[in-house]
Amino acid sequence: MKQSLFHSLEGKNIAFKELSTTDAEEIHNYASDKEVSRFIGWSLMTSLDETRVHIETMVNREAAGTHLYASIVQKATQEIIGTAMIFNFDHEANQAEIGYVFHRDHWGKGYGTECVALMSNFAFESLNLYKLHASVVDANIGSARILEKNGYELEGELRDHYFIEETYFNALLFGKIQTKKD
């Protein structure tokens, strides 16, 4: 039930839909882009088959109830432009982590900000989570700005936490606590 709600989220410019291997080619367009995959924690997808396997893994995680994934669709074109995710659920502490990735052609257009708003509202209102958090590579300034625009606060920094392309990067830890409406 919660999965189908997540897959049906809709904003002004984007909508979510269920992740599917039938969309592997569109997903591969950004999953195989070195600039896109550099800071997201996915391995660079080098073939369409590799992308299909990755999608199957995500679908299986969702079926197991450990993750929520959705393809992000640009409403004007119906093109898949990214992936949204809620994962690392801590049921005792009532919190989870969020993540998102977008095709490079759609960076800087407000879709990330809208995506995080949709996920945050869903997590707080439908999942009734107390807290959401995200970990961002410090060089990924755009992603940090998206979180800040959505009311996430920088809670800490882990020095030299990521090792990417022979370089160490700090992890910026962002969090947002649900505000109760009276």
Of 11, 119, 18, 144, which Cα lies nearest the Cα of 71?
18
What's residue 43's pLDDT?
A: 78
Q: What is the residue-averaged pLDDT of the chain?
A: 94
What's residue 181's pLDDT?
A: 60
| pLDDT tens-digit map of 38-95 | 888 777 899 999 999 999 999 999 999 899 999 999 999 999 999 999 999 999 999 9
pLDDT beyond 60 at 182: no
CA dihedral (25, 138, 61, 131) in degrees, to 10, reads -130
For strand 79-90 and strand 68-74, is the pairing parallel, antiparallel, or unpaired? antiparallel
Q: Which domains does the chain have, with CATH numbers?
A: 2-177 (3.40.630.30)
Between CA 65 and CA 70 the distance in angstroms is: 14
| pLDDT tens-digit map of 110-154 | 999 999 999 999 999 999 999 999 999 999 999 999 999 999 999
Phi, psi at residue 33, to the nearest 5°?
Answer: -90, 120
Tokens 């490079």, residue?
Answer: 104
For strand 95-102 and strand 131-137, is the pairing parallel, antiparallel, or unpaired? parallel
What's residue 44's pLDDT?
A: 84
Overall average pLDDT of the 145-168 stretch: 95
